[in-house]
Structure 1
Amino acid sequence: MDLNDLDFENIGSWPLLHRVIFIISVCVILSGAFFYYVTMPQMDQLEQVKAKEVTLKNDFKIKAALSSNLEEYRAQMAEIKIIFNGLLNKLPSNAEVASLLDNISFIGANNGLQFKSINWGVTKDEELSTEVPISIQVIGKYEELGSFAADIAALPRIVILDNLKLTKANDELMTLNVIAKTYRYKESKK
């Protein structure tokens, strides 16, 4: 029988071999369409979910490691707060900044130095603090200048000596130009 002789309106009259081939062809086409339109998108979605699962597992491992050390982190945070508060207490308040000038003058006089000038500089706001510079020019012997610097460093408040410039005034005396910087904490020491 020739393919042109087959009647598509009456498939039941076809010979058995042709009916089997036709049914298998239709099943293959339907299976392919089902696989392409239904199964393939689900497989892509499955791959995405698997990738997300790996990411979530890694996140979980990181968080589990962090949470297993939570008490240690809390203890460290408490220790850091104590250290931070101790350092904050070393920063002068506004009233203490004003008396700092007197302290520096007293230390200089105690060490036998002559003050040529001592002036407030321009304050500089930084992220957490305000820098308060004091420009100092003193004359004295080398040892006296060294004692002066050591006594400034021994103050109970943080004072940093910056931009030190030492020049010879005469055979015995030297001139020290220095910027003494201290800081005020913006939030609690205003």
Structure 2
Amino acid sequence: MKLVDFHMDLAELDIAMPGEWPRAVKALCFVLVAATVLALGYLVSIADKRAELLLAEHREDGLHREFAASRAMAAGLAKLRARDAAASAALAEMIERLPLETEVPALVEDITRAAVDNDLAIDRIDLADERQRGFYRELPIAIGVVGDYHDLGAFASVIASLPRLVTMHDFDLAPRSGPRNLSLTIEARTYRYPATHDPSPPAGSEPESTLSPLE
């Protein structure tokens, strides 16, 4: 069929009677319809896949953010645990340095010995009443000694380096006549943790008998 004849056939087609169309025209229409259907189906399928791809990319971004946040949280938790362990170790070490109630007289003896060894005259070394300070107890020790500047400094250094924890407060340094030309009044404080085990029984208490009441 020539192109001119084919064009004339198309011009003479009766749309209301497609059954009478030439075979070539029918074939062409079928191909066009099939191509259109396939193209539309392809576009619809691609649109669905593209939407799924965009959704997957969005989810991936969210998972990346969640992973980064979880990783940062895990790193922070590890640091927090390390700091907590260090603080617990420091607290345990400090508690170990706190004297038991039965060790307080020995601590007073250490302070007295430090004064004597540094050639100081002792005016007073007196225990004051125990004070409750939150979760620990404070035991003040009033100290009054007389000596020269260097001896007083050496005495303070010895007190600060005692094995048991002792802090010094309320310094009062006054001049006086004589070879020991300075008077030092100070309040030393040691501390006791109530949970610290004290093996001695309370004063005035009797040990429990292990004998049966019938014996």
TM-score over 0.5 for the alignment?
yes
8 Å contact from structure 1 (residues 94, 189) kept in 2: no
Q: For residues 150 and 70 of structure 1, what CA distance do their matches in structure 2 show? A: 41
Amino acid at match of 2:147: G
Distance apart, 1:141 and its partner CA: 1.3
Q: What percentage of aligned pairs have identical amino acids?
A: 29
Q: Give the SS at the match of 1:178.
A: strand
Q: For residues 125 and 107 of structure 1, what CA distance do their matches in structure 2 show? A: 28
Give the number of aligned pairs: 130
8 Å contact from structure 1 (residues 153, 160) kept in 2: yes
Aligned counterpart in structure 1 of residue 192 of structure 2, from 166, 184, 189 = 184
Aligned counterpart in structure 2 of residue 149 of structure 1, from 139, 150, 156 = 156
Distance apart, 1:168 and its partner CA: 1.4
Q: For residues 159 and 90 of structure 1, what CA distance do their matches in structure 2 show? A: 9
Q: For residues 96 and 165 of structure 2, what CA distance do their matches in structure 1 show? A: 9
Amino acid at match of 1:76: R
Partner of 1:166: 173
Distance apart, 1:160 and its partner CA: 1.0
Are 2:145 and 1:138 equivalent residues in the alignment? yes
Partner of 1:175: 183
Using structure 2 for the length normalisation, give the TM-score: 0.55
Using structure 1 for the length normalisation, give the TM-score: 0.62
Q: Give the SS at the match of 1:92.
A: coil
Q: Give the SS at the match of 1:69.
A: helix
Select the structure of larger CA radius of gyration: 2
Q: Which runs of 5+ in 1 are unaligned?
A: 1-59
Q: Which runs of 5+ in 2 are unaligned?
A: 1-65, 199-215
Q: What root-mean-square deviation, in Å, do the aligned CA atoms of Structure 1 and Structure 2 show?
A: 2.1
Larger RCO (alpha carbons 8 Å, 6+ apart): 1
8 Å contact from structure 1 (residues 123, 132) kept in 2: yes
Aligned counterpart in structure 1 of residue 132 of structure 2, from 125, 128, 136 = 125
